[in-house]
């Protein structure tokens, strides 16, 4: 394979990584330890140069790909030795060290999130206590859990959430799984969500879609690092770039089909809060 062809393949694959991570070229250059001008030279259409070995290694480690793939010597992008899918046990929903680690490893990349029920970052302590049940009545422990749910608010976090409107309306109407939850708590939770959404916008953007027309399982895509499907007591984790990109396309399709855009979500939630107890 000629050096020119290797250079072209390298350019294509680096550009794919930049696009998938939603990083700017300047940010990408900074995190792999080169300046923007050096990256521009590497990606120039007429370039026949390749990066230094240490730069290749930094790209591979940061984006969970192999050096061989970057240089066109392998078709599989993953650097996992062929292990592209794994199952990670998570017996306790609120035991979150695993999620914290995954978010930390994807720091600075876009997080795409389809939650199970309400998004973690928007839950009040009363909701956590309700879900834990009467056997967990330690207020201090519950507040600690709520604080830990901010695992996904690291520096430079850029998060998009696709949330079915039915997830919210079930809380408004007090139907499963919220049947029996007091009206005052349900209203406070919706108002809390509206405040948080407004305060964290635009680094946190929520898209509401019609769950009757568009079906999905809960999952999170951690930049270009991995994608994890939530399966109750386990996560099904995908490490290969092809699957991650396919799941990104699925997420993007939910965004395209959304019925409420991020800048309108807080207003929609506040209007919804007024309906609680009146429906």
Do 3-70 and 85-275 come out as alike in CATH topology?
no
Pair type for strands 234-238 and 226-230: antiparallel
Q: What is the pLDDT of residues 44-70, one digit of tens each?
A: 888 788 888 888 888 988 888 888 888
Give the fold, CATH level 3, of 85-275: Endonuclease; Chain A (3.30.870)
| Residue in 235, 254, 219 with CA at minimum distance from that of residue 114 | 219
3-state secondary structure of 230: strand
Question: In whole angstroms, what is the distance from residue 214 CA to residue 254 CA?
Answer: 7
Closest by Cα among 257, 264, 268, 271 to 114: 257
Given a cut of 80, whether residue 83 has pLDDT beyond it is no
Write down the domain spans for the chain: 3-70, 85-275
Residue 80 has pLDDT above 80, yes or no: no
* Angle subtended at Cα 159 by Cα 263 and Cα 16, rounded to the nearest 5 degrees: 115
Helix (H) or strand (E) holding 87: strand 85-89
Query: What confidence score (pLDDT) does residue 143 get?
Result: 82
CA atoms of 171 and 166, how far apart (whole Å):
9
**Position of tokens 């859990």?**
145
Task: Specify whether domain 3-70 bears CATH 1.10.645.10.
Answer: no
Residue 75: the pLDDT is 72
Reply yes or no on whether the pLDDT at 84 is more than 90: no
Q: What is the pLDDT of residue 78?
A: 62
pTM score = 0.75
User: What is the per-residue pLDDT across 107-136, written as a single tens digit (0 to 9) for each?
Assistant: 888 999 999 999 989 999 999 888 888 777
Give 278's pLDDT tier (boundaries 50, 70, 90): low
Average pLDDT of 5-22? 87
Mean pLDDT of 173-195: 93
Average pLDDT value for residue range 24-29: 90
- The predicted structure's pLDDT at residue 163: 97
Instruction: Check whether 138 has a pLDDT greater than 80.
Output: no
């Amino acid at each position: 394979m000629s050096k020119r062809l290797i250079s072209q393949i390298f350019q294509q694959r680096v550009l794919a990584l930049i696009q998938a991570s939603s990083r700017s070229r300047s940010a990408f250059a900074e995190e792999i330890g080169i300046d923007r001008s050096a990256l521009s030279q590497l990606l120039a259409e007429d370039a026949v140069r390749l990066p230094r070995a240490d730069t290749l290694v930094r790209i591979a480690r940061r984006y969970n790909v192999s050096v061989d793939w970057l240089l066109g010597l392998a078709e599989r992008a993953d650097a996992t030795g062929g292990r592209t899918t794994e199952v990670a046990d998570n017996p306790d929903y609120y035991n979150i060290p695993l999620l914290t680690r995954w978010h930390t490893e994807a720091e600075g990349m876009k997080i795409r999130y389809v939650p199970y029920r309400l998004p973690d970052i928007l839950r009040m302590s009363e909701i956590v206590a309700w879900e834990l049940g009467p056997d967990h009545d330690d207020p201090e422990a519950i507040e600690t859990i709520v604080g830990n749910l901010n695992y996904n608010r690291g520096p430079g976090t850029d998060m998009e959430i696709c949330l079915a409107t039915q997830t919210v309306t079930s809380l408004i109407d007090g139907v499963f799984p919220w049947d029996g939850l007091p009206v005052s708590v349900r209203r406070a939770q919706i108002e809390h969500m509206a405040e948080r959404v407004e305060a964290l916008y635009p680094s946190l953007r929520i898209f509401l879609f019609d769950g009757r027309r568009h079906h999905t399982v809960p999952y999170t895509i951690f930049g270009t690092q991995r994608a994890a499907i939530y399966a109750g007591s386990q996560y099904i984790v995908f490490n290969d770039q092809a699957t991650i990109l396919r799941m990104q396309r699925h997420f993007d399709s939910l965004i395209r089909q959304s019925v409420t855009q991020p800048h309108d979500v807080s207003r929609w939630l506040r209007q919804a809060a007024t309906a609680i107890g009146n429906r």
